[in-house]
Homo-oligomer: A and B are copies of this chain.
Amino acid sequence: MAQPKKAASIWDVARLAGVSHQTVSRVVNGSPRVAAATRDKVLEAIAELGYRPNRLARSLAGGAVESVTVLTADTSLYGPEAALRGIEKAARSLDWSVQISVLDPADTHSDADIIARLPRAGEPTIIMAHDEPGMRAKQVLLDTQPQAMVAIGPYTAEELAASPWLVGMDDGKAAAEATRYLLELGHDTVHHLAIPTSTGTFGGGKAHRADGWARVLREAGREVPDPVPSGWTIAEAFKAVQPLVSDPAVTAILCGNDHLALATLRAAHLAGRKVPGDLSIVGFDNTPFSAYTTPALTTVNQDFESVGRGAFELLRHRVDASIPRPKPSWPEPELIIRETSGPPFARS
């Protein structure tokens, strides 16, 4: 086994180049106040020793902060995963590093647990606040270090514009659009298979999927059926949607995300109901697979990646006031009409 010879430090480089360690630091950080000849000597020494700066020491010493921690509950959901990708890309282009810490929905983290996940007090943090653990974490961080946190979640344009630490998209509006579309197709009403966050005491906003759906139905003077609560997994959705699918009076279902829609599609198929002839199904998120189901899912596209990017930009501003606040923006949801939706009772 090779001797793990210790990594070269800035001092080793300085010694080899015959300069002070500070000069090396200047070269590494691209300070203009270094003579070209000196710079070359240092660069040479760096190459020879294979020196690489130690980020830990750097941020300890009070150099500009250059890491973000992302708190998220479920990386297997498309939304958070895509947002994370957006954050990562944005961060990497500025050479920041990204930590992720997964909040387990199963165990109840104490506030201290959540705090303990941060590598240091004041660590810049982005929270995916689209479910219960995420909301908890958001609250804890808000109480602890509001100046170094940003939360991603479903919010209306007004909420986003008003809050200095929110980024998100208006799920309620997107759901409204989808619901309106189904109504225009001629359905008497639209049923809703809801993701966990859209139900119970959790909601109450105007930006949740279930809320947008209910609003449109009310505005149109239609019956608002009870939303059917589902878990996050496809298996749970499959089970939850059974009563809806086996009821011939149900002609349209808006699903909380594409996974739930897939489960619904499957359930409908097994129940012998034609889609979209007997039953229209609309999903949410435009998950990559959604264009390739049979029939292909009608769904609402959400640009999560750009939300992630936005969150990172906002965080930079929050952490360093000299960086201008990015204009609050949110991607417009876009209804993508494919094959699972149509007029009710169509003989397709």
Binding site for B on A (CB under 8 A): 1-2, 4, 7-8, 50, 52, 54-57, 59-60, 67, 75-76, 81-82, 84-85, 88-89, 92, 95, 97-102, 104, 115-122, 144, 146-147, 233-235, 238, 259, 262-263, 265-266, 269, 288-289, 291-294, 296
**A102 in contact with B92 (CB, 8 Å):** yes
Contacts of A56 in B (CB 8 A): 56-57, 59-60, 119-120
User: In the complex, are the beta carbons of B99 and A52 less than 8 A apart?
Assistant: no
Q: In the assembled complex, which residues on chain B have CB atoms less than 8 Å from the CB atom of A89? A: 102, 104
Query: Which residue on chain B has the smallest CB distance to residue A262?
Result: B292
Residue from A8, A119, A233 having most chain B Cβ neighbours under 10 A: A119
Are A55's CB and B119's CB within 8 A?
yes
Q: Are A7 and B75 in contact (CB under 8 A)?
A: no
Residues of B contacting A85 with CB < 8 Å? 75-76, 102
A234 CB contact (under 8 Å) in B269, B289, B294 = B289
Instruction: From B4, B100, B119, B289, give the contact of A262 (CB < 8 A).
Output: B289
Once the chains bind, are A288 and B147 in contact (CB under 8 Å)?
no
With A55-B119, A56-B119 known, 20 other A-B pairs at CB within 8 A are A2-B147, A4-B147, A7-B121, A54-B60, A54-B120, A56-B57, A75-B75, A75-B84, A75-B88, A76-B81, A76-B288, A97-B101, A97-B119, A98-B100, A262-B293, A265-B292, A266-B292, A266-B294, A289-B289, A293-B293
Given contacts A1-B147, A102-B92, contact A234 B97 (CB under 8 A): no
| Contact of A99 with B99 in the complex, beta carbons under 8 Å | yes
A7, B55: Cβ atoms closer than 8 Å: no
10 A–B contacts from the bound complex (CB under 8 Å):
A4-B122, A52-B121, A55-B119, A56-B56, A75-B85, A75-B88, A76-B82, A234-B288, A235-B291, A262-B289
Give the contacting residue for A60; candidates B57, B100, B147, B266; CB below 8 A: B57
A46 CB to closest chain B CB, in angstroms? 11
Contact A97 B121 (CB under 8 A): no
Give complex CA distance A88, B117 in Å: 12
Q: How far is the CA of A102 from the CA of B87 in the complex (A)?
A: 11
Interfacial chain B residues near A99, Cβ < 8 Å:
97-100
Task: Evaluate whether A234 and B292 lie within 8 angstroms (CB atoms) in the complex, with A2-B146, A99-B98 already known.
Answer: yes
Contacts of A7 in B (CB 8 A): 120-122
Q: How far is the CA of A303 from the CA of B28 in the complex (A)?
A: 44
Query: A120: which B residues are within 8 A, CB to CB?
Result: 7, 52, 54-57
A259 to B288, CA, bound (A): 9
CB-CB < 8 A to A288: which residues of B? 76, 233-234, 259
Q: Please name the residue on chain B nearest to A258 by beta carbon.
A: B289
Q: How far is the CA of A119 from the CA of B100 in the complex (A)?
A: 14
Which residues of B lie under 8 Å from residue A233 when comparing CB positions?
A: 288
Nearest CB on B from A44, distance (A): 15
Report whether A97 and B75 are in contact in the complex, using a CB–CB cutoff of 8 Å.
no
Contact B52 A115 (CB under 8 A): yes
Q: Once the chains are docked, how many angstroms separate the CA of A59 from the CA of B97?
A: 17
